Chains A and B, each alone.
Chain A
């Protein structure tokens, strides 16, 4: 789960990481009021769950409360990579002498927490990682002992020459590790980690992604969830045991299993169609799940045909077919439905489906082609 910068900064504060004062506004007037409280100069920053906000015009430096109001009115409602800005963070502007990067991830390769630091922090860190990877220093952490103080020191020595700064940075590196572990983050980073001309240090930006599997033990962080309209539907599906992601196409997909669901989308695209969604109804497919899945698909007005791709493993195909027939009898669906069933008791399933108006497909490719053809009519 992604959280906003201001929320990540709240967590940072809890762990003693220095963050500039700031508050969140949802209207230009509120932004002006906060600006008056905090005192200029300030930065007005869009709070959306994507990177590259600055380059998209979502971050503005302001010198007066009036300017803060004006900036907020421009940024609120702005579309950044498909997301509408609904909140802005008004925060004290910091004089920047030096920008570094500090980040933690759960590293899939080493299967351990990994810390990365770089003296070349700032908005182009991804380019640094691509073009000059030697400028990013990595260290794999023993999960049982955690990051040790001398290890943090060694990393900080890669960032600065001044020992006073090194000590301050090492302290932040250790604190960020504690925060990372404590909230079950999959990623936490400070970029830029700023040194001012006076030698102060600040986490000017903050990013934390939380491991979805660990949210059950962090109800306080679950409360930070900020969902867009599209995500609401996804969460609603999740509560019904379905994994759903809306896309822009017109062919609705119902599949059991995530890998097969992705492969189905890919195949539709390969044959010239556009999938309307990713939808995994799980390993077993009870009539209830099929009903819920169909309800989601028919609420998407773009959908012109529906493609069921079910592999009957432990669940028998004839059971699945009966489930689909039962589900369809409970719903009024005017959309054409193509079904591909394979696996256990495939032939019995085909017999059941041949009594219905459903269009059966012999293979995945056949099903994809048929649903594309029908959707195009």
Chain B
């Protein structure tokens, strides 16, 4: 097994005719993802990398049975693309787009909740179940099918840690970036719940960073509900307060959201926190 995506994933790429959309469609096809449709209004009838393009997500779903979508749409148009996917009955929407206003996301997330659709992101590198499917911009070749679930708020930091997991022959069941923005769809807790039910997953790596209280919420959830070993890494111990560290969600404000608090929250519930990315593997091996 794995979570959220696998061999049955049928993907529609929203914004497939754009530069990033077409490039990553090619990469996802190479990885073995079933990319069944593309969507760009006005480009219906064309093909990108052999994938048929439709004018609307609804058409794409009707014609191809797409159940998952990924957005390579500029911030300005991304919000409606999310609504459109939800309206068309897409079950899992992955938003790579960056720069969507938080109050727009607030509404979109509430809308998708009503529709029963899951959202990953925005500002997410996507999700991969190694050997099965990749929906995102993650570099497929560094992953290896295995037993570790990885949930992260960032991109390249995740790759750095995954690279160590893969080299240590642990491999990954599913790895997903939940997004660097303050208002996101699936959060740490939601992913932990899915991983707890997934037989392939023997342990979880949780990669957090400064800002918000997702890690603290996850710590409480782990204490009460999560039985598999969890190892964490938190970035931003040296981040100055009040500054946005790249990601819109990575900001320490009014003394809350600090890395030190998050580390403390995890350690208090028995989650081992690595002092540097490489140490994740060692801590995980001790726990498995």
- Give the complex CA separation of A278 and B213 in angstroms: 22
**CB contact list, B176-210 vs A, under 8 A:** 180-184, 207, 209-210
Contact between chains at B156 and A111 (CB < 8 Å): no
A7 within 8 A of B: no
Q: Which of A106, A142, A216, A262 contacts B236 (CB 8 A)?
A: A262
Q: Which one, A58-66, A85-93, A264-272, A349-357, is touching chain B? A: A264-272
- Per a CB cutoff under 8 Å, which of A213, A261, A280, A342 touches B102? A213
User: Are B207 and A259 interface neighbours, CB within 8 A?
Assistant: yes
Q: Please determine whether B103 and A344 come into contact, CB atoms closer than 8 angstroms.
A: no
CB contact list, A234-292 vs B, under 8 A: 243, 245, 247, 255-263, 265-270, 275, 278, 280, 283
The size of the chain B interface, using a CB distance under 8 A, is 65
Q: How many Å from the CB of A129 to the closest CB on chain B?
A: 9
B5 at the interface (CB under 8 A from A): no
Q: Are B106 and A109 in touch, CB under 8 angstroms?
A: no
Tell me the bound Cα distance from A365 to B282 in angstroms: 15
Given the complex of chains A and B, what is the CA–CA distance between A245 and B241 in angstroms?
Answer: 12
Q: Does the CB pair B238–A265 fall under 8 Å?
A: yes
B-facing mask of A273-317, CB < 8 A → 1, else 0?
001001010010000000000000000000000000001111000
Taking a contact as CB atoms under 8 Å apart, the answer to whether A143 and B107 are in contact is yes
Q: Report whether B235 and A263 are in contact in the complex, using a CB–CB cutoff of 8 Å.
A: yes
Contact across chains for A260 and B276 when beta carbons are under 8 A apart: no
- For the A-B complex, the count of residue pairs with Cβ-Cβ distances under 8 Å equals 175
Scan residues 237-259 of chain B and give those whose CB is less than 8 A from a CB of chain A.
Answer: 237-240, 242-250, 254-255, 259
B246 close to A261 (CB less than 8 A): yes
Chain A contacts of B163 at CB under 8 A?
Answer: 311, 342-343
Which B-chain residue is minimally distant from A185 (CB atoms)? Answer: B103
Contact indicator per residue, chain B 164-183, by CB within 8 Å of chain A (1) or not (0): 00000000000000001111
Q: Is the CB of A342 within 8 A of B160?
A: yes
* A265 with B247, Cβ < 8 A, contacts A106-B103, A214-B102, A260-B160 known: no
Complex contacts, A266 vs chain B, CB 8 Å: 235-238, 259, 276
A50 to B155, alpha carbons, bound, how many Å? 31
In the complex, A51→B254 CA distance in Å? 9
* A270 contacts across to B, CB distance below 8 A: 275-276
Interface residues of A (CB under 8 A from B): 49-51, 106, 108-109, 111-113, 126, 142-144, 181, 184, 186, 211-214, 216-217, 243, 245, 247, 255-263, 265-270, 275, 278, 280, 283, 311-314, 342-344, 363-365
Interface residues of B (CB under 8 A from A): 24, 27, 75-76, 99-107, 109-110, 137-139, 141-142, 152-160, 163, 180-184, 207, 209-210, 212-214, 217, 233, 235-240, 242-250, 254-255, 259, 275-278
The 6 A-B residue pairs whose C-beta atoms are closest, nearest first, are: A259-B154, A258-B246, A257-B156, A259-B157, A214-B101, A313-B139
